[in-house]
């Protein structure tokens, strides 16, 4: 079956369909990863996007459920040069085509993905419509022009209820803006007691969980579309240790008084070089984001830059000068990509332990006793009523 991809600038790609039949619109982006296509498919940060893989052969090792980064894929379309129909991997449970059909995702192959990538690099990411229908080009153009990009992706992909992944050490509240499973895995393998909460959780709701630290997850879209999250972070700054990843990094910057802007074509792939300004060391990182923190907006805030991107000089890491809080734009949990930066989870746990040593809390029984005494002192004085007697 034929499939077509139409960009908003009028460029048309015609190829071979795989996956589900149908039609979808979204922001057309590209990912430079050589492997890891099923982690890309299941990364909630791609919600609302049509993803192009620059590596030419996709599907060759099939799909294994154990490698998923979320319960289901959220992408709006998948674009590849060559789709391999027969995977060669003992772990494969089914094919890529099977997965896309299961979740109603349209795929297109046999197009020039190099040409598509060059267009996106030169002109920037743009809207596109991917279809297996027989509609005319004019109809597709009209439909694409009338569509708009999503702004509620975080609410779509975030958990709707609180749940826990029990551990015996530090309690970490993970605010789910579209969290990858790799973040939970990295925390639990270090013994953390992880509590995952929805993206619209308030500071008071988080406090009631008695966390030792708060981790702000990755997620899709523009950080300015979730202003309530920045307000929540601002309220918790200085009270609890905070670690932000990807979208969490951008929200941390907004909470600290900085600003964000959209990149021309974003950073998506497992091969992005990042320089640590403290040590001078360069790390190869996994990234997936279309927005960045504005360098000039850091001036006048209590934030300082800790990492930069070696390709374009954009900010890749921040730290608060006064409070125990830091963030990175890339993915230390990888999945897919190199694990060079997994040490950041250890740094976060060390920060939590240091904060607890410097700010010892009284035993819970003492707190409850003080609250009861305060309530008793605040009670009205006088003769007891019959009911009280």
| Residue 54 near residue 31, CB atoms below 8 Å | yes
Tell me: the pLDDT tens digits for 14-37? Answer: 999 999 999 999 999 999 999 999
pLDDT > 70? residue 261: yes
Query: The domain 2-150: what is its CATH number?
Result: 3.50.30.20
- pLDDT > 70: percent of the chain: 98
CA-CA distances (angstroms) from residue 80 to 16, 77, 114, 164, 320?
A: 10, 10, 10, 37, 41
Task: Give the pLDDT of residue 287.
Answer: 97
DSSP string, 317-334: EEEESSSSEEEESSBTT-
Q: Residue 60's Cα: distance from chain center in Å?
A: 26
DSSP string, 339-358: -TTTHHHHHHHHHHHHHHHH
Mean pLDDT of the chain: 95
Domain formed by 154-358, architecture: 3-Layer(aba) Sandwich (3.40)
Task: Give the pLDDT of residue 298.
Answer: 97
Task: Give the pLDDT of residue 365.
Answer: 84
72 or 383, higher pLDDT: 72
Task: Give the pLDDT of residue 379.
Answer: 77
- Boundaries of every domain in the chain: 2-150, 154-358
Task: Give the pLDDT of residue 384.
Answer: 54
User: What is the rounded CA–CA span in Å between residue 327 and residue 87?
Assistant: 38
3-state helix, strand, coil in the chain (%, to 5): 30, 30, 40
CA-CA distances (angstroms) from residue 125 to 47, 51, 166, 228?
A: 15, 11, 41, 27
Q: What's the token pair of residue 375?
A: 């309530």
Total-model pTM: 0.93
Phi and psi dihedrals of 241, rounded to 5? -65, 140
Average pLDDT of the residues in 260-274: 96
Q: Residue 53's Cα: distance from chain center in Å?
A: 19
Q: Dihedral angle at the C-alpha atoms of 63, 76, 72, 317, nearest 10 degrees?
A: 90
Task: Give the pLDDT of residue 277.
Answer: 97
Closest CA to 337 of 55, 16, 15, 34: 34
Binding-site residues for L-glutamine, in ranges, read: 45, 219, 221, 247, 250, 288, 290-291
Lowest mean pLDDT among 65-69, 115-119, 378-382: 378-382
| pLDDT level of residue 387 (50, 70, 90 thresholds) | low
Matching residue, tokens 């040069």: 81
385 or 25, higher pLDDT: 25
Tell me: the pLDDT tens digits for 184-198? Answer: 999 999 999 999 999
The residues, any chain, with a CB within 8 Å of residue 353's CB and separated by 6 or more, are 170
- pLDDT > 90: percent of the chain: 91
* Beta partners for residue 315, in sequence order: 308
Task: Give the pLDDT of residue 133.
Answer: 95
Binding-site residues, in ranges, read: 45, 219, 221, 247, 250, 288, 290-291
Q: Residue 297's Cα: distance from chain center in Å?
A: 22
Residues recognised as catalytic: 246, 331, 333
């Amino acid at each position: 079956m034929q499939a077509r991809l139409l960009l908003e600038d009028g460029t048309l790609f015609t190829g071979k369909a795989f996956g589900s039949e149908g039609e979808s619109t979204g922001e057309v982006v590209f990912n430079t990863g050589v492997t890891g296509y099923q982690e890309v498919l299941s990364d909630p940060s791609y919600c609302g996007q049509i993803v192009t893989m620059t590596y030419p052969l996709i599907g060759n090792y099939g799909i294994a459920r154990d490698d998923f980064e979320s319960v289901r894929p959220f992408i709006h379309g998948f674009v590849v040069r060559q789709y391999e129909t027969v995977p060669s991997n003992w772990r494969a449970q089914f094919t890529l085509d099977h997965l896309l059909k299961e979740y109603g995702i349209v795929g297109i192959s046999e197009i020039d993905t190099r040409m598509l990538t060059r267009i996106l690099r030169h002109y920037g990411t743009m809207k596109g419509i991917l279809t297996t229908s027989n509609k005319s080009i004019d109809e597709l153009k009209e439909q694409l022009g009338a569509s708009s990009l999503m702004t509620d992706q975080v609410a779509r992909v975030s958990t709707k209820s609180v749940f826990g992944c029990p551990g015996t050490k530090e309690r970490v509240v993970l605010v789910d803006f579209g969290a990858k499973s790799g973040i939970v895995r990295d925390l639990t393998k270090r013994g953390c007691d992880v509590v995952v909460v929805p993206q619209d959780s308030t500071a008071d709701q988080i406090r009631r969980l008695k966390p030792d630290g708060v981790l702000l997850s990755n997620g899709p879209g523009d950080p300015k579309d979730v202003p309530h999250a920045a307000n929540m972070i601002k309220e918790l700054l200085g009270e609890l240790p905070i670690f932000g990843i990807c979208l969490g990094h951008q929200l941390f910057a907004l909470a600290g008084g900085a600003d964000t802007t959209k990149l021309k074509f974003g950073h998506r792939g497992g091969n992005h070089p990042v320089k640590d300004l403290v040590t001078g060391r360069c790390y190869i990182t996994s990234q997936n984001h279309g927005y960045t923190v504005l360098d000039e907006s850091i001036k006048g805030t209590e934030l300082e830059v800790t990492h930069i991107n070696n390709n374009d000089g954009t900010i890749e890491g921040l730290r608060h000068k006064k409070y125990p809080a830091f963030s990175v734009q890339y993915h230390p949990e990888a999945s897919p990509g190199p694990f060079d930066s997994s040490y950041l989870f250890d740094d976060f746990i060390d920060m939590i332990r240091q904060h607890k040593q410097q700010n010892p809390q009284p035993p819970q029984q003492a707190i409850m006793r003080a609250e009861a005494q305060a309530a008793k002192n605040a009670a009205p004085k006088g003769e007891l009523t019959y009911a009280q007697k």
